[in-house]
Amino acid sequence: MFAQERHQAILTALEKQPSITLTALEGLLKASPATIRRDLTFLEKLGKLVRTHGGVLHPDHAQGEVSFDRKSRESLEAKLALAKSAAALVKPGATVFVDAGTTTLEIGRLLVARPQLTLFTNSVPLLSERPAADTRLIAIGGEVRSVSLALTGAGALEWVRRLRPDFAFLGASGIDASGGPCTTELSEAGVKGAIAAGARRAVVVVDSSKWDQPAAIRYANWAQIHDVFTDRAFTRAERTALTSHGTTLHVVTR
């Protein structure tokens, strides 16, 4: 394999998974450790990856939080399947809050095309969608956070504290199976937590990559979450831990 082919193979692999070990790269490239080290040094100088002890990271992940565009491409098939299943809960006439996030965005896109709904959201991308004739799409206000394209801050928090939607569809940066859904940023945690507390039915929708990857800030406990939609296969112990709080698990298969 030529150097250019190896470089492309490394970058393609990092698009599919954010971190790769050196051992995995040796198996992928069928090249010597010395050759791989030269390739990684070259790509790191170009800013295409970040080297770590025993492996490499995609630069987006090395910066602490993944960009919205990159997240929107990850696990897309799973997100679309989850969105379709979760959106099926909503009937005409309902009021719905749609959280900012890539999976919840897919739910919002399905709902905004349906008639006779009222949708509140802090998702800037969702606000660019055209609602059906009898559906209202309402921005909660606030300051745009560039990484997640979420409306956050005091204005957004004041809005959501007043809302009592029938459904709130919430995303998460990570999930603590024993504790609850988490996020990485304090202002987003405030919005998520307030709407989870106020919604008649709070629904967390996350793909399997988020489980056992708790982020810095827990925004709700499982007693506040009515439903979880995911493609994760749970152990009996995990099911018991979540359902003991009254949370209903919906495992979606593709």
pLDDT of amino acid 212: 80
- pLDDT tens-place string over residues 99-150: 999 999 999 999 999 999 999 999 999 999 999 999 999 999 898 887 788 9
Domains of the chain are: 3-62 (1.10.10.10), 70-251 (3.40.50.1360)
Burial, 243: exposed, middle or buried (Cβ in 10 Å; 0-12, 13-18, 19+)? middle
Give the position of tokens 């800013």.
47
pLDDT of residue 74: 62
* Residue 232 and residue 188 in contact, taking contact as beta carbons nearer than 8 Å: no
Return the exposure string of 47-67: e unless at least 16 CB atoms fall within 10 Å of the residue's CB, then b.
Answer: ebbbeeeebbbbbbbeeeebb
Say how far apart CA 251 and CA 207 lie, in whole Å. 10
Q: What is the pLDDT along the chain (254 residues), one digit of tens a residue?
A: 788 889 999 988 887 777 788 888 989 999 998 899 899 989 888 878 877 767 787 776 655 555 555 555 567 888 999 999 999 999 999 999 999 999 999 999 999 999 999 999 999 999 999 999 999 999 998 988 877 889 998 889 999 999 999 999 999 988 888 889 998 888 899 999 999 999 999 999 999 888 887 777 899 999 999 999 999 988 888 888 889 999 999 999 87
Residue 245: closest CA among 161, 153, 179: 179
